[in-house]
Chain A
Amino acid sequence: QQQVKQSPQSLIVQKGGISIINCAYENTAFDYFPWYQQFPGKGPALLIAIRPDVSEKKEGRFTISFNKSAKQFSLHIMDSQPGDSATYFCAASSRGDDKIIFGKGTRLHILP
């Protein structure tokens, strides 16, 4: 049972373009939705996170859009750069459970 579904599995975007990664969840108890960026051989690093009381959060070139009714959230990377090439994981957790559930990841490659 996959509680957080992430798509696409891989993504190629031209430099300067917009990268969009989507996630959907099933558990309505989830109340924290982070995105992590992972480079090869490194641990994941928190990129940006959102709670369900807002529909959008922006930090620099990174934006999370959240649709509570559809149980979906997405990451938008504006003006994508080669240095953004990495694997991105969406995740979800709930206040009543310490566990954080990860999506399967998206391998993003930005063409120079």
Chain B
Amino acid sequence: GAVVSQHPSRVICKSGTSVKIECRSLDFQATTMFWYRQFPKQSLMLMATSNEGSKATYEQGVEKDKFLINHASLTLSTLTVTSAHPEDSSFYICSAEDAAANYGYTFGSGTRLTVV
């Protein structure tokens, strides 16, 4: 089945620094990937839709300049949290759609970001 690899699984960074999270589709090509944020005991909140070769589409209220998304190839999307602050600490999850599976959305294992 479709596999999405997300790295790193955990990261601790100092306030003011930037952190990059990678999301790779291992056995399929994904023209579209999605980035979510999840707070403890809450549902997934869609942050942005990442489109290969074009700009990401951000959801209302998500700061484009803080959460930079790059989808440089059909198998890789990256999310960079710039100038991170403690309030950016959260669980970030990516997902990709395997078009061949006809609506198959596969999720990565998530990245726990802690900003100190």
| A residues adjacent to B (C-beta < 8 A) | 32, 34, 36, 41-46, 49, 89, 93, 98-100, 102-105, 107
B60 within 8 A of A: no
User: Is there contact, CB below 8 Å, between B93 and A44?
Assistant: yes
Distance, CA A52 to CA B68, complexed state (A): 37
Q: What 1/0 mask marks residues of chain B from 32 to 73 whose CB sits below 8 Å from any chain A CB?
A: 101000000111101001000000000000000000000000
Among B41, B42, B43, B109, point to the contact of A43 (Cβ < 8 A). Answer: B109
User: Is there contact, CB below 8 Å, between B103 and A102?
Assistant: no
| B residues adjacent to A (C-beta < 8 A) | 4, 6, 32, 34, 41-44, 46, 49, 91, 93, 95, 97, 103-110, 112
A interface: dominant SS: strand
User: Is there contact, CB below 8 Å, between A43 and B32?
Assistant: no
Q: Which 8 A-B pairs have the closest CB atoms?
A: A43-B107, A43-B110, A104-B43, A32-B103, A43-B109, A44-B107, A43-B93, A102-B43
User: Is there contact, CB below 8 Å, between B110 and A105?
Assistant: no
> Of all chain A residues, which has the CB nearest B97?
A98
User: Is there contact, CB below 8 Å, between A89 and B43?
Assistant: yes
Among B32, B43, B93, B112, point to the contact of A103 (Cβ < 8 A). Answer: B43
